[in-house]
């Protein structure tokens, strides 16, 4: 059995978290992006998403379809790992609005979660399970257990039903709040009320803004700290917001621009 706080133990604000590895700098959710984030921008944590292939492999990818990020088409879940390996995961990436495609034809593939875990054997990961497919949580749990990675992964889903199944399967792992539970926590505070207690979830992965409303404020930070909750905000690419969040002592900043966040975190006089 894992101590419930093993993932959070030793973490100090503010964490540099590469969202999908840094989706504005390299093809998202690929080893190329992850390696740049870790080795060039010294990221503290990788944020990534996973799906299941037709033959039950855990694939790192955000979308349930292949068109946006690869030269393939159709549902990811319709292809086997061997078929997915043939796709070019750098085909669509462009840093300049479609003028150039510097990663096209460079052999970049959709990685498996197992490959990512082994490529970065000590790095913490924030892993979102995407498909609402009963049994997917069992496949993910088995993989994490086989790789001895349960203590360095925070798990969850935007969908509450998936997050609940994940917690049932891995009750001692770190879990982040799903959408409805997160909304209940934040809206209660905005209404001046005590947020509902939910010991299943220890990390608030949340947007910085909802419309024009900035969700992170002193009330939220205080309430989270009092309850032993950690806050990571997404997706922050603006240097001024990065500076403000660092000054506020936010737990972690998820960004598509790990280069800019590293510059701000290394700037003279910055805390953390």
pLDDT per residue as tens digits for the range 73-100: 999 999 999 999 999 999 999 999 999 9
- At 1, the pLDDT band (50, 70, 90 cuts) reads very low
Q: Would you say residue 78 lies in a domain? A: no
Query: What is the token pair recorded at 180?
Result: 């409805």
Q: Would you say residue 92 lies in a domain? A: no
Q: Is 207 exposed, middle or buried (0-12, 13-18, 19+ CB in 10 A)?
A: middle
Q: Would you say residue 26 lies in a domain? A: yes
- At 183, the pLDDT band (50, 70, 90 cuts) reads very high
Instruction: Give helix 179-190 / helix 218-226 axis angle, nearest 10°.
Output: 120
Tokens 């982040």 identify what position?
176
Nearest to 174 by CA among 228, 95, 120, 103: 228
Q: Would you say residue 134 lies in a domain? A: yes
Percent of the chain exceeding pLDDT 90 equals 93
Q: What is the CATH number of the domain that holds 19?
A: 3.20.20.190
Q: Would you say residue 85 lies in a domain? A: no
Q: What is the mean pLDDT of residues 37-50?
A: 98
Percent of the chain exceeding pLDDT 70 equals 97
- At 203, the pLDDT band (50, 70, 90 cuts) reads very high
Number of domains in the chain: 1
Domain that holds residue 200: 3-64+121-266
- Residue-wise pLDDT for 234-256, tens only, equals 999 999 999 999 999 999 999 99
Q: Phi, psi (5° rounding) for residue 34?
A: -65, -40
Query: What is the token pair recorded at 206?
Result: 């949340």
Q: Would you say residue 58 lies in a domain? A: yes
Q: Would you say residue 171 lies in a domain? A: yes
Q: Would you say residue 102 lies in a domain? A: no
Q: What is the mean pLDDT of residues 57-63?
A: 98
Give the pLDDT of residue 271. 56
Distance CA 64, CA 61 (A): 8
């Amino acid at each position: 059995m894992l101590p419930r706080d093993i993932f959070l133990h030793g973490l100090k604000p503010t964490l540099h978290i590469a969202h999908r590895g840094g989706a504005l700098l390299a093809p998202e959710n690929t080893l190329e992006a992850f390696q740049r984030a870790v080795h060039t921008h010294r990221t503290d944590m990788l944020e990534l998403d996973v799906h299941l292939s037709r033959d039950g492999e855990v694939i790192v990818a955000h979308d349930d379809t292949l068109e946006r990020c690869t030269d393939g088409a159709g549902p990811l879940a319709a292809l086997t790992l061997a078929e997915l390996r043939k796709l070019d995961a750098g085909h669509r990436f462009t840093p300049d609005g479609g003028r150039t495609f510097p990663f096209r034809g460079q052999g970049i593939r959709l990685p498996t979660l197992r490959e990512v875990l082994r490529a970065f054997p000590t790095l913490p990961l924030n892993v979102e399970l995407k498909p609402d497919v009963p049994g997917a949580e069992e496949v993910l749990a088995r993989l994490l257990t086989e790789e001895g990675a349960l203590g360095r992964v925070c798990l969850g889903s935007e969908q509450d039903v998936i997050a609940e199944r994940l917690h049932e399967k891995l009750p001692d792992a770190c879990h982040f709040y799903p959408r409805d539970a997160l909304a209940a926590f934040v809206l209660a505070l905005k209404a001046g009320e005590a947020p509902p207690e939910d010991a299943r979830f220890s990390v608030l992965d949340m947007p910085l803004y909802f419309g024009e409303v900035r969700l992170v404020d002193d009330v939220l930070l205080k309430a989270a700290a009092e309850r032993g909750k950690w806050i990571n905000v997404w997706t922050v690419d603006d240097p001024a917001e990065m500076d403000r969040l660092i000054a506020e002592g936010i737990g972690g900043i998820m960004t598509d621009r790990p280069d800019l966040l590293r510059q701000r975190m290394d700037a003279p006089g910055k805390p953390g």
